[in-house]
Structure 1
């Protein structure tokens, strides 16, 4: 009974958040308190302790460092240069948009930030060149997702933290995150290539990119910020890679054990402040506070669900009612359906990742395949107008008429297309590996 109550609370939190346009995390915190204290006999101190402090600190510190690149215009300038470099191949503009979004997001801007400043540019390019709004929207959305999934970027860090919280070792979580990044890089390339081929056959190729003007060069602050970002990425990535290559080397193991991306990002934030790369108050104000509250708030409710035995019960049901060969695909379908109305980072992965290890160990399935299937499925439908990605793209439309015309295209063409591509990929992933 208590497990059903917790599941109902998660669903109600999503519905209320969507209905009243309020942060889902706030509803989740309220339900965690009510169910935990009055339904399960937990003390208020125990409920407060379910706040995922590690995830909060990592997101806060990493986003704080990367916010300097947003505040001083480094990422936006870099996007302009990437688009300009691709102006001579107009037929490949979807890949240019995808590449620009991937690089900028991978450098730390994160999914929401990239969409916020690249979606308007993309829709403008679509209007001026004749590129399909569906193709342009999917290109920028896919790119922002893929880049953010990189192991040292926002989503990749959250995935790694959720996996280690669920019992995965640090090195294995790193490998799983690399698998997620590679998968979410492959699927968009195949989908966009197919859309370009279909567009050419229908005679709807891009007209021209001659209007794209040469951007001004990066200034001192922007060059320094880019250099500092690359150094931080190397600092975070090299020790775990060295540990995988040299597992018996004591020195490598020592250094890798001391690497923490949250603490490293804090050090680099101080360096950025000392180098005057951006205003401290602007950097803090630009942090994705809404995302942080949503992820941590839902994390509290998920922790209450774990204490109530909900996760174990759900995992047991999946393990006994779905054939082992179809487990990853089933997870992908569930993630895709959830992502139509909810956030991948805030709701889908915190809810599904804790189920993976128990089921994988029981049925002898590689956990990496299930983790990948969840993220690929969830991000396939993130372009839905009722999800975060689609709503940001709709918000970038110049007027209500354009917005009304784009909404059904995102819901009935882009989201189903992404879903089919993701399920085909998950099937291949399951039966090939």
Structure 2
């Protein structure tokens, strides 16, 4: 028990220390990794196993690829065109991002593949429009994770297989329906809370009041020169794509097709396409590499290393056990859902949370009379997926990395963005908790 408490305290303490001292939280976590690992009897080899190699490669590949597209002006021109098509109705842009992400994810590829594409583009749009990157990025994530519960998408298939192993069938569409409803409510709450409805552009080409951009910006900080109006005006005067931009746009389309259509690894695809663009001289390699937000990569990697040690020492289990001890027939589904959301902050939803919690659901239902198996499964899936907005997850880390890359914002802004993303992730998990507690999903049975 002492080691569990110590492990959990170190993880929380590292994050708090980083914010208080204005230090890179990743460096703090890496600095504590050896100390905590030694106390817990974890070898150096096992400590290094916590390094998120795949996530690091994904972020590095996508950031390099989009750095090249940003450096030669491709992203700016494409973003300007999309913004100008919306005219004054720019408040629709976050909604369109959500719907496109949801539809693509539900069609089969699932959240990881889809959000790897839509989050990056959504954040680029946010910078062009001077609106909150948290708003745009989270709408892309919520759409992607909402659609992934489809019976033909990755999460839906995993959940259905786990239920089949427990000889519980016929729940696929009900799980998808429940997750979709809860996810949509989370998206509406996010849209309203972050001021998506305030985004406007007036006829004279100026923003419709301070709230249209500054109010929706979420306090992260603006790009400075770009705006909805400015981007639109620039789009009209900048002309079409040049040769290098045309090649880059073609590469972007190839990336979307390979990742979304054929489920290729997005990091490897982006690295390959980046090599092709550099060989063709479509962008300046040295400038693009300098644009990669290495400090964000250190932050994400360091936190993941310490999280792995915390999990090995039972810190996360301790947190889950505390929640589970309060369960009753009414609170079983909400609490098991919150447990799934918290676990998802520190581990993979598909790889860890679902295989760990869903098989335990029948036993919980047996111990807590009157608890619904279906509602518990929906609560777990929805909470664990919407928690992906966290900067410790792939989606949230993509928002941080791409915004830092686009704007070159300072460490203080990055730390603030980290806190906002984590706070929003906690908020949507709480929304799912409340929805389940008050019985909004009770019709599922």
Residue 255 (structure 1) aligns with: none
Structure 1 gaps of 5+ residues are: 124-136, 157-162, 241-258, 336-346, 383-387, 397-402, 404-409
**Structural RMSD (CA):** 4.9
- Residue 10 of structure 1 and its aligned partner are, at CA, apart by 1.0
Separation (CA, whole Å) in 2 of partners of 1:84 and 1:181: 34
* CA pair 314-106 structure 1, distance change in 2 beyond 3 A: closer
Structure 2 gaps of 5+ residues are: 102-113, 149-154, 163-171, 206-228, 363-372, 393-398, 408-412, 414-419
- Residue 76 of structure 1 and its aligned partner are, at CA, apart by 2.1
How big is each residue's C-alpha offset from its partner over 1:120-149, in whole Å with a ceiling of 9 and x where there is no partner?
7436xxxxxxxxxxxxx4xx5322223356
Residue 208 (structure 1) aligns with: 202
Residues 33, 309 of structure 2: 8 Å contact kept? yes
- Residue 423 of structure 1 and its aligned partner are, at CA, apart by 5.5
Is residue 230 from structure 1 mapped to residue 253 from structure 2 by the alignment?
yes
Q: TM-score, normalised by structure 2?
A: 0.60
- Residue 296 of structure 1 and its aligned partner are, at CA, apart by 1.4
- Residue 315 of structure 1 and its aligned partner are, at CA, apart by 3.2
What are the equivalent positions in structure 2 for 1:14-413 lying under 5 Å apart?
14-37=15-38, 39-87=39-87, 90=88, 92-96=89-93, 99=96, 108=117, 110=119, 115=123, 118-119=126-127, 121-122=129-130, 137=132, 141-147=134-140, 186-187=184-185, 190-191=188-189, 208-211=202-205, 212=229, 213=233, 214-215=235-236, 216=238, 217-240=240-263, 259-322=264-327, 323-327=331-335, 329-331=337-339, 349-350=345-346, 353=349, 354-364=352-362, 369-376=379-386, 379=389
How big is each residue's C-alpha offset from its partner over 1:232-282, in whole Å with a ceiling of 9 and x where there is no partner?
221122235xxxxxxxxxxxxxxxxxx433322222221121222212222
- Residue 99 of structure 1 and its aligned partner are, at CA, apart by 4.2
Q: TM-score, normalised by structure 1?
A: 0.61
How big is each residue's C-alpha offset from its partner over 1:338-388, in whole Å with a ceiling of 9 and x where there is no partner?
xxxxxxxxx972258445532222014676752432453574999xxxxx9
* CA pair 264-317 structure 1, distance change in 2 beyond 3 A: same
* CA pair 429-350 structure 1, distance change in 2 beyond 3 A: farther
**Which stretch of the first structure deviates more once superposed, 185-194 or 283-292?**
185-194
Residues 61, 268 of structure 2: 8 Å contact kept? yes
* CA pair 116-329 structure 1, distance change in 2 beyond 3 A: same
- Secondary structure of 1:218's partner? coil
How big is each residue's C-alpha offset from its partner over 1:79-101, in whole Å with a ceiling of 9 and x where there is no partner?
221221122xx3x3322365479
Separation (CA, whole Å) in 2 of partners of 1:319 and 1:359: 11
- Residue 289 of structure 1 and its aligned partner are, at CA, apart by 1.9
Separation (CA, whole Å) in 1 of partners of 2:319 and 2:115: 34
